[in-house]
Amino acid sequence: MTVDPPRDDADLESEEALNWDGERDASHVAGPEPIRAKPVRPARARSGAADDTAVDDAPVATSSFLLVTYGIVAGVYGLYTIGWITSVLRGGGTMSTVLGEVMFQFGEFLAIASAPLWFASTFFLTRGRKPIVRLAWLIVGLVLLVPIPFVLGM
């Protein structure tokens, strides 16, 4: 059996600083519950119950077909942007007034930016909707934003 060396008061105070009684301490007050990012919901059992129609917050994975389709459509929008850039660089239109020239150049900028803006805004504004709605708006953009001066060779 070993005998501990005698301790002085400084050793006892430093050990007390490292120990805490926790919930047994009369002055202990529990803090607030930690905030969670998402509420935890218990797993539902699949049954014929009426609450099977409730909307689940779990994200739905996008199918491979939709991802490939979105990629193809994004590529076409990229080609549209290149077509508008080419049309703007090819065209040499100038206006007689300063205001007319500023407005003409602003219109050229909007023509170039229209395809990427349509694509991005379609994805932003149709989130949470059915994929057919998103595809329909993307197809509408493909029809409306065709770079006609590039296609006609002007």
Query: Tokens 């797993």 sit at which residue?
Result: 43
Residue 50 has pLDDT above 80, yes or no: no
CA–CA separation, 45 and 52 (whole Å): 9
Q: Where are the domains of the chain?
A: 64-152
Model-level pTM? 0.58
pLDDT of residue 144: 92
pLDDT of residue 134: 92
Relative orientation angle of helices 64-90 and 98-125, to the nearest 10 degrees: 180
Residue 26 has pLDDT above 80, yes or no: no
pLDDT of residue 46: 54
- For 3-18, the pLDDT digits (tens) are 666 666 666 566 666 6
Count of all residues that appear for the chain in the document: 154
pLDDT of residue 43: 58
Residue 25 has pLDDT above 80, yes or no: no
pLDDT of residue 63: 82
Q: 116 or 42: whose pLDDT is higher?
A: 116
DSSP 102: H
- For 64-96, the pLDDT digits (tens) are 898 899 999 999 999 999 999 998 888 777 778
Please state which of the ranges 25-39, 66-80, 89-103, 134-148 shows the lowest mean pLDDT.
25-39
pLDDT of residue 96: 84
Q: Give me the helices (H) in 61-97, please.
A: 64-90
Q: What is the mean pLDDT of residues 19-43?
A: 64
